[in-house]
Amino acid sequence: MEMDESFDIAVIGAGPAGSAAAWSAAAAGRNVCLLERNEKPGFPVRCGEGIGIRSLTEHSDARPEWIKREITGSVMVAPDGTKVTIADIDKSTILDRERMDYDLSQEAVKAGAQLFVNTPVIEVIRIPGGRYQCRCPQRTVIAKIVIIADGVESRIGRALGWNTCLAPDDIESCAFTRVTSPLIDQDSCVFFVGSGVAPGGYAWIFPRGNEEANVGLGILGTHCAAGKPGKLLQEFINRQLPGCRAGALHCGGVPVTRYIRPLVRDGAMLVGDAARQVNCISGAGIAYSLFAGKIAGGAAAEAIRADGVHYQALTKYEKLWKQRYGKQQERSFALKDFVIHHTDDAFLNRIAATLVKKKSGRIGYLTVFLSTFSRHPLLMFKAFKLFG
């Protein structure tokens, strides 16, 4: 019979949030394990891999080899095919998530964390003494604090008392693949909207260089049915990139809702998609995850004391998250919530038609924002309340 392995902190999931948490806690001198269900962190990728360079460098020691392509433009395609080029985008990049996620997990190992791959966590329960027992097929881990980074499903979070249910309006069902085609614009991220493309969401083509791109779409849960995202993605690829070579199809969910409250419950903490830390308009969450993991790991390390766990110290994580990204995420949720109820294809086409009349070099995100909301006084009023 195997002996239980004891740690100060157990981190469940070696995505960006989990690896950042394990690194932060281990770097502070704590005994940490990182439990990853897959054979290798970062695989399979279920993400467009896009992030602003400023966010990437702010929250990680970004490496040149993580960068697949720097992006110089952004194009939005209306339901009727009208293309609007956005000029003043922030410097952005398309990442090699497989490489980045693996490297982040190895940084945690270098800091002293123990990484266990092929180690799905079947059950987490609180045991006498306030510790947590993480039961896996090959081993049982005992920890004083558990950081949960197990993704949108967050089965572990639900088992420990959080309400992880998502309303249909608060989740995007996504399909993703990687394609190779000479038709891909290698300098711009291209977004497609409209009920015929991705109802309640959008489709996207993110270039990776060498005629390669990440291609995917997300549809709102209220518009979803079994197999629909994959079917819509195949139709989209056939229209936009005929004759391309496509890789394996991956599907999954992306939360587009407020972050879960509380983020800390006794000695358990939620980070990343498990905590719903994501931009509700775009579905982007890499920067949020890196930041959340880093500060959660730091708070957990600080909470470990000679006489046990100082649970109040763990709440520092939620305070710092709220200060840095809480208001930003609230705004994105509110915008998403009323935009999906007040716009349709005809509205989007009218906005695009107005924008293409302007000089392309003068079209920025602020122009798009104002053009969109000025045609709907209620939206404009709500937007000013949000950003005021």
Query: d(Cα 74, Cα 79) in Å, to the nearest integer?
Result: 17
Which of 371, 367, 370, 373 lies closest to 88, judged by CA?
367
Any idea what the CATH number is for the domain that residue 317 is in?
A: 3.50.50.60
Both 153 and 186 in a single domain? no
For residue 190, the SS3 value is strand
**Same domain assignment for residues 41 and 183:** no
pLDDT for residue 118: 96
Rounded to whole angstroms, the maximal C-alpha distance in the chain is 73
- Once rounded to an integer, what is the mean pLDDT over residues 261-270? 97
Q: Answer yes or no: do 327 and 351 share one domain.
A: no
Please state, in angstroms and rounded to a whole number, the distance separating the CA atoms of residues 176 and 250.
5
Q: Both 59 and 156 in a single domain?
A: yes
Q: Give Cα separations from 349 to 83, 281, 362, 365, 370 (angstroms).
A: 10, 19, 19, 17, 15
Residues 59 and 79 in one domain: no
Its domain, for residue 41, covers 5-63+96-165+256-333
Instruction: Give 227-296 as a DSSP string.
Output: THHHHHHHHHHHHHSTT-EE---EEEEEE-SPPPS-SEETTEEE-GGGGT-S-TTT---HHHHHHHHHHH
CATH number for the domain spanning 198: value is 3.30.9.10
Domain boundary among 254, 270, 285: 254
Q: What is the pLDDT of residue 46?
A: 67
- pLDDT tens, position by position, 345-383: 998 888 888 777 765 555 544 455 545 555 555 554 455
Instruction: Note whether 122 and 177 are same-domain residues.
Output: no
Whether residue 276 is found in the same domain as residue 346: no
Nearest to 213 by CA among 238, 190, 234: 190
CA nearest to 330, candidates 277, 273, 384: 277
Residues 57 and 187 in one domain: no
Contacts of 156 (CB under 8 A, 6+ apart): 12, 121, 124, 146, 148, 150, 274
Give the tens place of pLDDT for each residue, 319-341: 999 999 999 999 889 888 877 87
Are 137 and 267 members of one domain?
Answer: yes
> Do residue 271 and residue 152 come from a single domain?
yes
Q: What is the pLDDT of residues 93-140, one digit of tens each?
A: 999 999 999 999 999 999 999 999 999 999 999 999 999 999 999 899
Residues 114 and 42 in one domain: yes
At which residue do the structure tokens 């510790």 appear? 131
Domain total of the chain: 3
Distances (CA, A) of 121 to 137, 158, 323: 8, 13, 32
The answer to whether residues 193 and 148 belong to one domain is no
Mean pLDDT computed over every residue of the chain = 89
C-alpha torsion sign, points 41, 269, 271, 227: positive
Q: What is the pTM for the complete model shown?
A: 0.91
